[in-house]
Structure 1
Amino acid sequence: MQDEKMSFIGIVGNSTKNMAFYMIKEIFIKAGFSSIYSNDNDSIIILKSKRDKQIGLINIMPKDLKSILNLNLNFNIVVYTNVGQEERIDDDILKFFSSLKNVVVLNIDESNCINLLKGNDKALVMTYGLNNKATITASSLDIGNSIAFNYCLQRELLTVFHDKIEPLEFPVKLNLIGKENIYNSLAAISVALCFGVDINTIRKTLIEIKGLERNMEKIYDNKFMIIDNKCINPIDYNLTFETVQHLKYKSIILLNGMGIDFGNDNLQKIIDIILNWSSILGIKNISFYIDKKAELIEEDIRKMFSNTNFSYNVFFSLRDSIGYCLEILNDDDLLLIMGNDILNGTKDILLKELNQYG
């Protein structure tokens, strides 16, 4: 039997690094909870308040829903966070959502979300999104090098303690990049309000969040800006560029990292995407950092750029590629770092280099 002092919050999404999950955790810590347990990959975190109340946060991948269902946990709140990712609704997903009896928070801008609750007449559904049909939405959006909007609760909300929250609106600012973080923060704020967290605590927490590693991570933002985003396929590159077009900068220096597993087909598609976006975004130079084991890629890159006048360089040293990018970077420029795991560790090198520059 579930301990009455323990509440459970499930966050369902396609990423092991779920920003909504991270935001919720940080809000509760700011509200006075402490972390008393986390598993190896931080997908399960137990928080404890000074009054001995405990909250279990579980970041749930769709493939794990069957296992979670077998635990028979009584979730107080489940959030479905998928943003812009079509998820096939299989039997395990339907069984999980049909079993829920308490609050379910759904992104109404996802086409499949309502189908998740077919046959479930027990759950209390809260929807969030950027259309006026959502229970929770955002108004007065200002998306650029940071994000500002008004959180709007459009109907009465019942907390897990059965207290009523009347419709309300308050301003929120995020030191983050990307429209998806509006969705993430709408979900996180809603969960926090359901647990009675003070609005000022929520707002202070969100403005201090710097983002997750290699997830449109803003590494530096002073004379110029440096952003790092992990990209493993052509779709990731397009999505990154779509986000970047809302930022304010003069020109882009692009550092692209590719390991031995990239493949020629992916390389051609990615270079085509970069060249297609180059004039729109103002990309003035691309530096390719290549794994020494994949040095044949250098010749492929040369052939792909042979009919262009585009400025590019190829490096086999990560430190050298970073040094060159910093050397040609001007005030108000953007250094955009994109690529797979070969670029892990870039942040540490960059921060050391920036400290030397002063």
Structure 2
Amino acid sequence: MKSLHQLISQFPYAYEWLNEKEVTITGMTSDSRNVADGHLFICIKGYTVDGHDYIDQAVNQGAVAVIVEKEVVRQDIAVIRVNDSLRVMSYLANRLYNFPTNDLHMIGITGTNGKTSITYLLEAIFKQHQEKTALIGTIQLKIGEETFPIKNTTPEPSFLFQHFALMQEAEVDHCIMEVSSHALKEGRVRGIDYDIAVLTNLTQDHLDFHQTMADYRHAKERLFQQLGNRYDSERPKYAIINLDDAHSASFIDVTAQPVITYGLSEASDIYAKDIELYADHSKYTVVVRGEAITIETKLIGEFNVYNSLAAIAVAYVSNVPLAVIASSFATIKGVKGRFEAVDSNKAYSVIIDYAHTPDSLENVLETARSFAKGKVYCVIGCGGDRDKTKRPLMAEVSDRLSDYTLLTSDNPRSEDPLQIIEDMKKGMQSSAFTIEVDRRLAIEKAISKARAGDVIIIAGKGHETYQIINGTTYPFDDYQIAQTFMMKDLGEDK
């Protein structure tokens, strides 16, 4: 809690008081729905809404001051005009909550695929080492065992710094967070003092937002630049990079901090060899600076070998002994919605996965093919109001690597789901597919086709428990729907 004058006493930005009042600030937000008594409301001009239009609502809910970019005449609250509200919010949130990331061990993970899995692998490893963690990412925000709802993979600065302060109070040892390209480009993570930055991989995604792969890559590179130029023996910083990724050299080039690479060859600092992949587990040897450890885990697929290598690298530079790292993998069952097998007694397998990029879908289907004794079916859709160029690519991957594809809806949002499917259909080369707009029916149709030894991949939504159709959000859980249908008596024992 600080006075508004305290917050801006060392303000490095140009600003203008439009109505100067001395008020006490208890919190801040750019979402008028989250305003409470004593809050500073930050007006952000977004892509679809303008925060300036919600000042009345914010004041009615208790805001005592606003930061604006436009001329605003108010006599009832303090008003400060700045040139860049979002940049100012990062600075003010840091000051309001006393620069909390300066005292937290901050781990930022970026890349197209694997971010969520790596955060949960690290949580398990640090827990095994008797250390307390916090997670910020696609599924939830978590401090110790307490969870908080979250809207975006990487939320706005006021939300982040408020929760970083809570992590400080809870004496968290490591904060592990997914860092999206949107957040990096928009400046949502400015002011966060990262200790470790991780690159998983870089493949096509979000081109509706970035327009080009170069812009997408540049956004991701900001995390590594944000590690800074200062070397501190008391608080060393590291860039951990997947050397096998085609863009690795660019990320190595942009950081001044020590680089630790990982991959599947001896060219990497940390690498896996003697890899054995099975339908229900994996086993491989990881070599770290000449020392070898055996990893046995229920996680399957080569993509999970990469995820584990990234987690091992982070844990290693965070002073977790290799023996503890190895033992933690034996306890890890998996991450919700990430190659998650639906629990049943059927002789076929149904697997839920968040795969929503061509590369991630290819990884998932190749893994399914490696252990399927029968056919591989894929239920796949693409999100509306998102990158349209990847739609035919997603369908092409499914057509190439599965025996039969069911093209369906994902989250069509404001778009016509049939048009999305038509865009996907352009990638189909064979006739081995069915169009079923209703995702529930598509899942049921795929399961009804299955026979012993078959594998059904339900891709795209993973952990999500909703579907957005024409702007309305409906309850929808791929896992629950699949399991319910599998439990029905389908006549033939399959």
Task: Specify whether residues 221 and 334 from structure 1 end up closer, same or farther in structure 2 by C-alpha distance, changes over 3 A only.
Answer: farther
Q: Distance in 2 between matches of 1:3 and 1:309?
A: 54
Query: If the length of structure 2 is used for normalisation, what is the TM-score?
Result: 0.54
Structure 2 unaligned regions, length at least 5: 1-98, 133-142, 155-159, 205-212, 232-236, 469-475
Of residues 177-186 and 232-241 in structure 1, the stretch that sits farther from structure 2 once superposed is 232-241
Q: Does 1:347 align with 2:453?
A: no
Task: Specify whether residues 196 and 309 from structure 1 end up closer, same or farther in structure 2 by C-alpha distance, changes over 3 A only.
Answer: closer
Q: Does 1:13 align with 2:111?
A: yes
Q: Does 1:219 align with 2:317?
A: no
Q: Distance in 1 between matches of 2:431 and 2:252?
A: 54
**54, 75, 92: which one pairs with 2:173?**
54
Letter in 1 for 2:108: G
Cα deviations across residues 184-243 of structure 1 (Å, max 9, x unaligned)?
111212222333435454334334434444443333486322122345565655454344
Cα deviations across residues 54-92 of structure 1 (Å, max 9, x unaligned)?
32223222443474774262x433322225567523684
Question: Pairwise CA RMSD of aligned residues?
Answer: 4.5
Letter in 1 for 2:374: K
Q: Does 1:244 align with 2:365?
A: no
Q: Distance in 2 between matches of 1:110 and 1:238?
A: 15
Q: Is the 8 A contact 1:5 1:52 kept in 2?
A: no
Structure 1 unaligned regions, length at least 5: 156-166
Letter in 2 for 1:96: Q
1:109 is displaced (CA, Å) by 1.8
Superposition map of 1:75-154 within 5 A: 75-82=194-201, 84=203, 88-89=217-218, 92-93=222-223, 95-99=225-229, 101=231, 102-118=237-253, 123-145=257-279, 146-153=281-288
1:264 is displaced (CA, Å) by 10
Q: Is the 8 A contact 2:114 2:307 kept in 1?
A: no
- Percent of counterpart pairs with the same letter? 19
Q: Is the 8 A contact 2:107 2:197 kept in 1?
A: yes
Q: Distance in 2 between matches of 1:221 and 1:168?
A: 40
Letter in 2 for 1:136: I
Q: Does 1:23 align with 2:93?
A: no
Task: Specify whether residues 118 and 10 from structure 1 end up closer, same or farther in structure 2 by C-alpha distance, changes over 3 A only.
Answer: same
Letter in 2 for 1:173: E
Q: Is the 8 A contact 1:287 1:313 kept in 2?
A: yes
Cα deviations across residues 89-148 of structure 1 (Å, max 9, x unaligned)?
368456324436322222222344344354865x33322111212111001012342332
Q: Distance in 1 between matches of 2:386 and 2:192?
A: 42
Q: Is the 8 A contact 2:381 2:421 kept in 1?
A: no
Query: What residue is the counterpart of 2:352 in the other structure?
Result: 228
Larger strand proportion, structure 1 or 2?
Answer: 1
Q: Distance in 1 between matches of 2:322 and 2:113?
A: 27
Cα deviations across residues 300-344 of structure 1 (Å, max 9, x unaligned)?
69x99xx9764x555455444433433332222101223567595
Q: Is the 8 A contact 1:83 1:180 kept in 2?
A: no
Q: Distance in 1 between matches of 2:333 and 2:363?
A: 20
Query: What residue is the counterpart of 2:446 in the other structure?
Result: 325
Q: Is the 8 A contact 1:82 1:107 kept in 2?
A: yes
Q: Is the 8 A contact 1:228 1:338 kept in 2?
A: yes
Q: Is the 8 A contact 2:391 2:420 kept in 1?
A: no
Of residues 188-197 and 336-345 in structure 1, the stretch that sits farther from structure 2 once superposed is 336-345
Number of aligned residue pairs: 336
Q: Distance in 2 between matches of 1:294 and 1:104?
A: 42
Query: If the length of structure 1 is used for normalisation, what is the TM-score?
Result: 0.71
Secondary structure of the residue aligned to 1:228 is: strand
Task: Specify whether residues 232 and 299 from structure 1 end up closer, same or farther in structure 2 by C-alpha distance, changes over 3 A only.
Answer: closer
Q: Is the 8 A contact 2:241 2:252 kept in 1?
A: no
Q: Distance in 2 between matches of 1:287 and 1:62?
A: 30
Q: Distance in 1 between matches of 2:395 and 2:258?
A: 47
Query: What residue is the counterpart of 2:456 in the other structure?
Result: 335
Q: Is the 8 A contact 1:79 1:104 kept in 2?
A: yes
Secondary structure of the residue aligned to 1:88 is: helix
Q: Is the 8 A contact 2:107 2:196 kept in 1?
A: yes
Of residues 287-296 and 57-66 in structure 1, the stretch that sits farther from structure 2 once superposed is 287-296
Task: Specify whether residues 125 and 264 from structure 1 end up closer, same or farther in structure 2 by C-alpha distance, changes over 3 A only.
Answer: closer
Q: Does 1:179 align with 2:179?
A: no
Q: Distance in 1 between matches of 2:321 and 2:116?
A: 23
Q: Is the 8 A contact 1:16 1:59 kept in 2?
A: no
Query: What residue is the counterpart of 2:81 in the other structure?
Result: none
Letter in 2 for 1:186: L
Q: Which has the higher contact order (CA 8 A, sep 6+)?
A: 1
Task: Specify whether residues 352 and 298 from structure 1 end up closer, same or farther in structure 2 by C-alpha distance, changes over 3 A only.
Answer: same
Q: Is the 8 A contact 2:111 2:199 kept in 1?
A: yes
Q: Does 1:193 align with 2:311?
A: no
